Structure 1
């Protein structure tokens, strides 16, 4: 043949090709015709460019939609490179989808035991706010965390405990959390896999100092939300924490406090603002909105799940709990944040079908298991891509 088309294996290959595929690859390589590989030469790792044994040695590789990173590192196998449009928007790869959740959600073996799937520490609550830490904790449990410990002031600890017997509540003396509680909070976080700090904490100066000192001393995966964001909203503190891979979950107003710039309602400008902010530090930022933006090191991804009913109070706390669940399983912060925004928004969409715009944060929590089941079974069928160009 004058031309041989290679379309045996794609970008999902793991390990050496199986015998039948390997035989086909060997036949292609032994042919005298020009070899054209579709998307990637069969057997080549799309990310690293490392060839498995055997891999096709193409004269021309036509990559679909965009060049895969590995193609640029394996010229011996790719030959000439070309890109073919398949009708997807240019920034389609920015879209967060069910696959993010599917591939990062842990599989439970028959002999799993308590602790295998994460311990989460929630630091929050104050005399005025008892619901926020509860919502974080319940969202995490519904996502699949094994144990949630809430550290809260004694003024509300009994109230939180009364909401659900599923939560472990640590009572710390006082109306608010202060630096007097620092040592106990650090010890609890060290025993857990991840921490959420901020929901309902309040804005007392003593509490802000606690947040600042805690973040300086802890070295664990952390989601910083709500009042804790306000406690670190200064250039000096952000610079000091810049090397830490904290997950920050601001809404537009909180992001303005952190970044010092006005946040536009235009999606493209919001993306630019978050990428600018994260390009000079190691933070992962979740800018919440009608389209959630997750940014890290100047890279941004977009989430289109969710609905206007989720403006109700408490859905941000739910999001923090879901993100922290993935953190507790060892998922990298950027990917954990992507999983969290998709699953929370999708659960909110399921709740909206039941309750319309009258949904509550607790309704979103109760839909998380259904959302996970739909994702694991492939039953999720509807996504909105408006805003992609």
Structure 2
């Protein structure tokens, strides 16, 4: 189904109000986002995801990366907090407490932008996801984070506070890896991938973004002893939303990283909402991943359209960053008197 008014209103409930009552101190309202990625060949992707989170409205944005990537990422923006701890030459036992300390400050972890497939980076990513699950954090998995899931689905299977964001090629590979019949009608595949992953929300990128969650199958049934903490309120449900908001006519490399940043920011807001920092607490935690995916998709596609309208064929991902605020206003604030969101 398309984005309904009900879904749109639920998404808006997750948006922190800009009324002067909230701050980034001991009780943050707009969330702290972490991006794990950035190795030898990839510094732009984690930057795009992390700076998007700030442009979108997160309080703080951290990049957890390899030392070899840190200098470049720091030079892109002084607004980012960069942690060059993913060192190939240091044992994971020494990195683990530092990583644990960083994650304790975050509301959401984005894994994959610029991660690469080097064994040491994949190992650190796997460790971070396990820690994030233990803490009940929201998680976004993209790019080589999806490659990691394809190698070992137990990393994320059954964790319903997660969103995966595959593009066309990644979705085809992931569908095959989880065992979805290739003859399945295209409109049902994302739902089945979600079911095979145990209720993880799937954001299938394409001409129309398809967001699905299905926790009704056997693969989604977790033993009662495994349901604890933040997972315990996730009931069985299935839902699919189609986002056909017009985007730009040119797809540039890095747009998926912007999407990871917008979805991650919404999930960070959702965690603050869940923790009582603002709002009426009427949106159940079980809907936050799907709502974040829908909201992030709408804003990313709109910012792509605005950037393309200005730059045409020459548009690059960097051109989208200044348009994120305008896109957010167009999607969520145009019908709000005084722009109170």
Partner SS for 1:218: helix
Whose radius of gyration is greater, 1 or 2? Answer: 1
Shift of 1:93: 5.8
Work out which structure has the larger RCO, using CA pairs closer than 8 Å and 6 or more positions apart in sequence. Answer: 2
- For the pair 1:132 / 2:72, whether they are aligned, the reply is no
* 1:106 matched residue in structure 2: 16
Partner SS for 1:290: coil
CA contact (8 A) 1:94 1:302 kept: no
Shift of 1:100: 6.0
Shift of 1:178: 7.9
Report the Cα distance in structure 2 between the residues aligned to 1:376 and 1:94, rounded to whole angstroms: 13
Unmatched 5+ stretches in structure 2: 215-237, 272-287, 337-341
- For the pair 1:156 / 2:69, whether they are aligned, the reply is yes
CA contact (8 A) 2:248 2:307 kept: no
Shift of 1:97: 8.0
Candidates 202, 207, 222, aligned match of 1:285: 202
Report the Cα distance in structure 2 between the residues aligned to 1:141 and 1:93, rounded to whole angstroms: 25
Candidates 98, 111, 121, aligned match of 1:207: 121
Q: Deviations over 1:206-260 (max 9, x none)?
A: 22222223323322111011111101204xx324632202111111221222221
- For the pair 1:324 / 2:239, whether they are aligned, the reply is no
Count of aligned positions = 287
User: Within 5 A, what are the aligned runs for 1:218-367?
Assistant: 218-219=132-133, 220-234=137-151, 237-239=152-154, 241-245=156-160, 246-260=162-176, 269-280=185-196, 281-297=198-214, 298-307=238-247, 309-330=249-270, 332-367=288-323
Structure 1 stretch displaced more, 153-162 or 171-180: 171-180
More helix, by proportion: 2
The CA RMSD measured in Å over matched residues stands at: 2.9
TM-score in terms of structure 2 length: 0.76
TM-score in terms of structure 1 length: 0.67
Report the Cα distance in structure 2 between the residues aligned to 1:308 and 1:347, rounded to whole angstroms: 8
Report the Cα distance in structure 2 between the residues aligned to 1:154 and 1:143, rounded to whole angstroms: 27
